[in-house]
Amino acid sequence: MKKQQGFTLIELVVVIVILGILAVTAAPKFMNLQGDARHASLDGLRGAINGAAGIVYGKAAIAGQENSATPVLVGETDHQIQTVYGYPTATSAGIGAALSGVNGENGDFVAVTGTGDSDLKGGSISFTFKNYANSTSLTNVPKNCYVTYKAPATSGATPTITLDPNACKTEDKAN
């Protein structure tokens, strides 16, 4: 007669304890994938804003409008972009018009705040995900979950495009 072989109860308990320890240490790494995905999307938006600003500046330079301190429209007659010092202004007629998929009905991102002085130099505008934009302020957006575009305030300056390194990493609401 063959002797049956199997695991003892203690061996099974040890394996379950080890699996539990692995689950506890590995689970937090996978819990915030949604925040990481949002951050990556905003980082892509930051790159798109940077590229759009550079292309618009090139168009303005070709048109000889790169030194204009007052708002100037640059581009084709059916798709003009408002610029100051050759870069898009921090408005929906400026950087908003330069980006596809922003502020449109089918867009993924929307502008949630905008500031600027009367001549549009040095103003800023922030973009976030469309589903966070039911508010007119950043208070209903998860902490730092936005990209901010700041138009140049002087000739020869470049726009500043910022994204918090920890943007969207937590679901905490901004204060």
CA 83 to CA 73: how far, in whole Å?
Answer: 6
**pLDDT exceeds cutoff 70 at 118:** no
3-state secondary structure the chain: CCCCCCCCHHHHHHHHHHHHHHHHHHHHHHHCHHHHHHHHHHHHHHHHHHHHHHHHHHHHHHHCCCCCCCCEEEEECCEEEEEECCEECCCCCCHHHHCCCECCCCCCEEEEEEECCCCCCCCEEEEEEHHHCCCCCHHHCECCCCEEEECCCCCCCCCEEEECCCCCCCCCECC
Residue 99 or 106, more confident: 99
pLDDT above 90 as % of the chain: 25
Which of 134, 126, 135 is closest to 167 using CA atoms? 126
End-to-end distance of the chain based on CA atoms, in angstroms? 74
pLDDT band at 15 (very low <50, low <70, confident <90, very high): very high
**pLDDT exceeds cutoff 80 at 92:** yes
pLDDT band at 161 (very low <50, low <70, confident <90, very high): very high
Task: Tokens 């009367």: give the residue.
Answer: 118
Structure tokens at 66: 């790169």
Mean pLDDT of the chain: 81
CA 55 to CA 35: how far, in whole Å?
Answer: 30
How high is the pLDDT of residue 101? Answer: 64
The residue type at 27: A
How high is the pLDDT of residue 55? Answer: 92
pLDDT tens for each residue of 37-52: 888 889 999 999 999 9
**pLDDT exceeds cutoff 90 at 153:** no
Domain ranges of the chain: 33-163
Structure tokens at 132: 């966070």
**pLDDT exceeds cutoff 50 at 172:** no
How high is the pLDDT of residue 142? Answer: 67
Kindly report the pTM of this predicted structure: 0.73
How far CA 88 is from CA of 16, 64, 84, 95, 96, in Å, comes to: 60, 15, 6, 5, 9
Lowest mean per-residue pLDDT among 45-59, 73-87, 104-118, 155-169? 104-118
**pLDDT exceeds cutoff 60 at 100:** yes
